[in-house]
């Protein structure tokens, strides 16, 4: 019986070795990053549920890459106020936590969610943490740069991109643009059709 068990194990090892040499076997062994299977409008919410910008029933979406330990972090308060003021008119704000700049979002998704609720009462959707620049950049940012040019490439936390309800990038705003900025407000109103 021991000989037949050894023979069976040897046959299994041989089959596994042969399978590893087949074309395409190498590509199957390493899982692709999550963002490689996503479109430019698809994210995962901070709670793990899917979030598609085109399925938010919004006229306009303001996508903001966020961080909890940044000089711009107090903008969460203004973003929440803007969301509350305009959500009934069709504006959705989506926060995209990112640790890309200065390591200023080092915590877990749970840490981010707790921080935002406790300190700023955030009720607008937050995504899981994503890269917004570099090799693992979320497709949303690649698409925005294609559509709007370098202005759409985040240079720091709290960079903002306004998109239409169908996910079309409309305009980008640098981090220093506050949620109450007159030009941003005018662009939001135009996107909402107000």
Residues 19, 60, single domain; the answer is no
Structure confidence at residue 11 (pLDDT): 41
Domain co-membership, 179 together with 155: yes
pLDDT of 90: 98
Rounded CA separation 101/174 (Å): 14
Q: What are phi and psi of 192, to 5 degrees?
A: -80, -15
DSSP three-state, residue 147:
helix
12 and 83 share one domain: no
22 pLDDT above the threshold of 80: no
User: Which residue range forms the structural domain that includes residue 134?
Assistant: 34-192
- Do 43 and 97 meet the contact criterion of CB atoms below 8 Å apart? no
**CB-CB neighbours of 85 under 10 Å:** 14
Tokens of 104: 């200023």
pLDDT of residue 194: 73
Check which CATH number belongs to the domain holding 76 and give it. Answer: 3.40.30.10
Task: State the average pLDDT for the chain.
Answer: 86
Q: Are 87 and 57 in contact (CB under 8 A)?
A: no
Measure the N-to-C terminal CA separation of the chain; round to a whole number of Å.
Answer: 81
The model carries a pTM of 0.82
* Banded model confidence at residue 9, pLDDT cuts 50, 70, 90: very low
Report the pLDDT averaged over residues 33-46.
Answer: 80
Is the pLDDT assigned to residue 150 strictly greater than 60?
Answer: yes
Per-residue pLDDT tens for 82-132?
A: 999 999 999 999 999 999 999 999 999 999 999 999 999 999 999 999 999
Is residue 25 over pLDDT 50?
Answer: no
Positions annotated as catalytic residues are 119
């Amino acid at each position: 019986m021991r000989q037949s068990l050894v023979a069976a194990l040897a046959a299994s090892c041989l089959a596994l070795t042969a399978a590893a040499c087949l074309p395409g076997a190498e590509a199957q062994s390493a899982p692709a990053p999550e963002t490689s299977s996503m479109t430019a409008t698809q994210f995962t919410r901070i709670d793990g549920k899917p979030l598609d910008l085109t399925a938010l029933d919004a006229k306009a979406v303001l996508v903001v890459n966020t961080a909890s330990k940044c000089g711009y972090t107090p903008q969460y308060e203004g973003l929440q106020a803007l969301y509350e003021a305009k959500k009934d008119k069709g504006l959705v704000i989506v926060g995209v936590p990112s640790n890309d700049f200065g390591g200023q979002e080092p915590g877990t998704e749970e840490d981010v969610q707790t921080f935002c609720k406790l300190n700023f009462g955030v009720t607008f959707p937050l995504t899981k943490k994503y890269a917004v620049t570099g090799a693992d950049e979320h497709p949303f940012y690649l698409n925005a740069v294609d559509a709007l040019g370098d202005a759409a490439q985040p240079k720091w936390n709290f960079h903002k991109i306004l998109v239409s309800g169908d996910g079309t990038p409309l305009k980008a705003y640098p981090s220093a643009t506050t949620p109450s900025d007159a030009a941003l407000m005018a662009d939001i109103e135009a996107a909402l059709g107000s």
